[in-house]
């Protein structure tokens, strides 16, 4: 009797778990003439201001690539077809604050070495830069927009050292700057998009190179191009990171490696900004997957979700990993090879809460590609809450912030960590709001007729130091610092990192005492939203 009850309980739990995740193929690539097909890495999927999803893949009317738009329910259109001038559209797209999408082609351009482009949602494409080889070659990832409004990215090859790739900066109008050329010792072959950390630096990976030559590394690079290797993979702790990093809500970065780990089939890892790496899970190459090409997305339940190209039933998996010890890992879907197979692209969570992705193979399409080899676009409903996302996730008081979401029509309020803001509803899926005076770092909320949408990440209110008085003095001098967004001050410094004792008087004023060891230089204030430096120097006298 007891065994029967246990069996029934296990069956109920299994059915409940199955009902919690609902997988649907929304579109079979290769269904119609001119369809895209076989989406590959990086293949980033971006949500637009209109609530639709945008990316790129091979195929199209010229059979060398297409930009596609797909609604959350699965209606697909092709706004732009690539041609020989901008071929090999592997990158996918990222959304800029101007409403346009930004991407890269691995080939084409004036020299055949690839391009960076921007494209409107309706498909008007402008080539911003054609690579020549010495400034980069074969960009596989789209550039991302930094908080300064410029775009930052990588190329797999090219640069001053010919073979190893570069980091670049480009403006929305096409002014290009080569920031760093890899030389193999500091990495080689970056193929994933960069991510800008909350410290303002950019973080990325290379597939090979680094101290151990064959396994790749994690690097940090400043907006001016100063690059630091923070971790070199050694095989035992992973190798060949193809997927992008993502910064978690705890401030650490999370990612995957294609190979390596204690078993050899790849891993899921966490790494601090200082380079301390923790392996969260070693893939076994069988039931829990093998070869995670894509990166991770942290969903609104706090868990990370990712995919493996193979493993499971042989055609790849979707997995979930919890970022808290003992880092529980579980496969929540096994691709079956017919419905869909072999995902290479990083999942994205739409603001409706649903996870979306695509696969290299599988599906019922056969136009331009063989049956079963065209790929699919799919959704996974995992009971995750809807939210609002922001562009960008940091800014000063009075800056206009963009919001993506749904159900915005009739919105009655927007608040930054509880402080009400003025806002403007542009459409049901897009609104803007101004960072209000007195706002502090924390969650942003939008009150709609259907309920409250909370941002999936904290918004960081950037502090400002406007002036200080007196302009000079010896150790022990009490200095009054006037600025904006100072309520959450966590540290004050004079010319260096020696911490000063301080008192927060208001959101616009902090008083601090010049500490022993202070040096002549700018006055710095650090808050939960970042660091602000004065434009003039405080002089430390004897």
Q: What percentage of the chain carries pLDDT values higher than 90?
A: 93
Q: Which two tokens stand for residue 356?
A: 């979306």
Residues 275, 230 contacting (CB under 8 angstroms): yes
- Say whether 389-460 and 21-381 share the same fold: no
Given pLDDT bands bounded at 50, 70 and 90, which one contains residue 21? confident
Read off the pTM.
Answer: 0.94
Across the chain, what does the average pLDDT equal? 94
4 Ramachandran zone, left/alpha/beta (phi>0; psi -120 to 50): alpha
Residue with tokens 């650090």: 526
**String of b and e for 78-94 (b: at least 16 CB within 10 Å)?**
bbbbbeeebbbbbbbbb
pLDDT value of position 9: 35
pLDDT, tens digit, 9 for 90 and up, residues 1-15: 333 333 333 333 333
CA 266 – CA 240 distance, rounded (Å): 9
CA 95 – CA 54 distance, rounded (Å): 9
Residues 271, 255 contacting (CB under 8 angstroms): yes
pLDDT value of position 162: 84
**String of b and e for 403-423 (b: at least 16 CB within 10 Å)?**
bbbbbbeebeebbbbebebeb
Residue with tokens 């705890």: 250
Q: What percentage of the chain carries pLDDT values higher than 70?
A: 96
* φ, ψ dihedrals at 296, nearest 5°: -120, 155
pLDDT value of position 212: 80
CA 301 – CA 286 distance, rounded (Å): 27
pLDDT value of position 85: 80
Omega before 319 within 30 of 0, i.e. cis: no
Q: Which two tokens stand for residue 89?
A: 């559209």
Q: Is the pLDDT score of 126 beyond 70?
A: yes
DSSP string covering 151-190 = EEEEESB-STTSSS-EEEEE-TT--EEEEEE--BTTBB--
Please give the C-alpha separations between residue 267 and each of 277, 290, 329, 401, in angstroms, as whole numbers: 12, 9, 11, 36
| Mean pLDDT of the 156-185 span | 96
Fold of 21-381: Methylamine Dehydrogenase; Chain H (2.130.10)
Closest CA to 429 of 52, 140, 22, 141: 52
Please give the C-alpha separations between residue 254 and each of 87, 271, 310, 313, in angstroms, as whole numbers: 31, 6, 21, 26
Residues 391, 404 contacting (CB under 8 angstroms): yes
Cβ neighbours of residue 299 under 8 Å, at least 6 residues apart?
A: 305, 349, 355, 382, 384, 456
CA 465 – CA 508 distance, rounded (Å): 9
CA-CA-CA-CA torsion sign (484, 485, 488, 493)? negative
pLDDT, tens digit, 9 for 90 and up, residues 31-76: 999 999 999 999 999 999 999 999 999 999 999 999 999 999 999 9
Query: For the domain 389-460, what is the CATH code?
Result: 2.60.40.10
CA 36 – CA 482 distance, rounded (Å): 56
Given pLDDT bands bounded at 50, 70 and 90, which one contains residue 20? low
| Mean pLDDT of the 99-126 span | 96
Map residue 120 onto helix, strand or coil: coil
Q: Is the pLDDT score of 197 beyond 90?
A: yes
Measured from the Cβ of residue 384, the count of other Cβ atoms closer than 10 Å reads 19
pLDDT value of position 84: 81
Q: % helix / strand / coil in the chain, to the nearest 5?
A: 5, 45, 50
pLDDT, tens digit, 9 for 90 and up, residues 486-498: 999 999 999 988 8
CA 112 – CA 102 distance, rounded (Å): 19
Q: Which two tokens stand for residue 84?
A: 């020989």
CA 463 – CA 447 distance, rounded (Å): 26
| Mean pLDDT of the 82-99 span | 92
pLDDT, tens digit, 9 for 90 and up, residues 510-533: 999 999 999 999 999 999 999 999
Residues 450, 412 contacting (CB under 8 angstroms): no
Domain spans in the chain, listed from the N-terminal domain onward: 21-381, 389-460, 463-540
Fold of 463-540: Immunoglobulin-like (2.60.40)
Residue with tokens 């940090």: 220
Given pLDDT bands bounded at 50, 70 and 90, which one contains residue 16? very low
CA 153 – CA 177 distance, rounded (Å): 11
Please give the C-alpha separations between residue 346 and each of 21, 134, 192, 296, 357, in angstroms, as whole numbers: 18, 30, 10, 6, 7
pLDDT, tens digit, 9 for 90 and up, residues 285-295: 999 999 999 99
Q: How far is CA 462 from the centre of its chain?
A: 20
Map residue 45 onto helix, strand or coil: coil
pLDDT, tens digit, 9 for 90 and up, residues 397-425: 999 999 999 999 999 999 999 999 999 99
């Amino acid at each position: 009797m007891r065994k029967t009850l246990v069996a029934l309980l296990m069956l109920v739990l299994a059915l409940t778990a199955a009902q919690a995740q609902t997988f649907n193929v929304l579109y079979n690539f290769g269904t119609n003439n001119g369809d895209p097909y076989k989406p590959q890495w990086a293949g980033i999927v971006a949500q637009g201001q209109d609530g639709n999803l945008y990316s790129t893949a091979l195929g199209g009317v010229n059979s060398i690539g297409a930009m596609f738009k797909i609604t959350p329910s699965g209606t697909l259109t092709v706004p732009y077809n690539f041609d020989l001038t901008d071929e090999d559209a592997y990158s996918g797209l990222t959304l800029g604050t101007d409403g346009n999408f930004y991407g890269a082609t691995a080939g084409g351009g004036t020299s055949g070495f690839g391009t960076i482009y921007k494209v409107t949602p309706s498909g008007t494409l402008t080539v911003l830069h054609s690579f020549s080889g010495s400034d980069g070659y074969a960009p596989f990832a789209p550039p991302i927009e930094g908080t300064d409004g410029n775009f930052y990215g990588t190329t797999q090859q090219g640069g001053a050292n010919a073979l190893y790739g570069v980091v670049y900066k480009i403006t929305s109008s096409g002014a290009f700057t080569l920031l760093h050329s890899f030389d193999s010792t500091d990495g080689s072959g970056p193929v994933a998009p960069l991510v800008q950390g909350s410290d303002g630096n950019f973080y990325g990976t290379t597939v090979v190179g680094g101290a151990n030559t064959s396994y790749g590394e994690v690097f940090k690079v400043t907006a001016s191009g100063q690059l630091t290797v923070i971790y070199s993979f050694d095989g035992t702790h992973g190798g060949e990171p193809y997927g992008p990093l993502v910064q978690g809500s705890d401030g650490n970065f999370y990612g995957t490696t294609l190979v390596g780990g204690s078993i050899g089939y790849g891993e899921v890892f966490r790494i601090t900004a200082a380079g301390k790496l923790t392996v969260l899970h070693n893939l076994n190459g069988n039931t829990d997957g093998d070869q995670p090409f894509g990166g991770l997305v942290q969903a609104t339940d706090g868990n990370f979700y990712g995919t493996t190209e193979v493993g499971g039933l042989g055609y790849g998996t979707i997995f979930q990993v919890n970022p808290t010890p003992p880092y529980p890992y579980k496969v929540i879907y096994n691709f079956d090879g017919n419905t869909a197979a072999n995902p290479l692209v990083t999942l994205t969570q739409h603001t409706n809460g649903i996870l979306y992705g695509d696969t290299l193979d599988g599906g019922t399409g056969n136009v331009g590609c063989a049956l079963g080899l065209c790929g699919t676009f799919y959704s996974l409903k995992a009971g995750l809450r809807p939210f609002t996302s922001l562009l960008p996730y940091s800014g000063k008081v009075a800056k206009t912030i963009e919001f993506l979401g749904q159900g915005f029509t009739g919105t009655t309020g927007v608040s930054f960590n509880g402080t009400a803001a003025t806002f403007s509803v542009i459409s049901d899926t897009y609104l803007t709001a101004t960072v209000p005076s007195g706002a502090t770092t924390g969650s942003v909320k939008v009150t709609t007729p259907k309920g409250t949408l909370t941002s999936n990440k904290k918004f960081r209110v950037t502090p400002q130091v406007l002036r200080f008085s007196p302009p000079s003095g010896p150790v022990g001098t009490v200095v009054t610092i006037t600025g904006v967004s100072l309520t959450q001050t966590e540290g004050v410094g004079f010319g260096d990192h020696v911490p000063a004792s301080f008192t927060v008087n208001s959101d616009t004023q902090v008083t601090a005492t010049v500490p022993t060891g202070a040096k002549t230089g700018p006055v710095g204030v650090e808050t939960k939203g970042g660091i602000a430096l004065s434009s003039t120097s405080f002089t430390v006298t004897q």
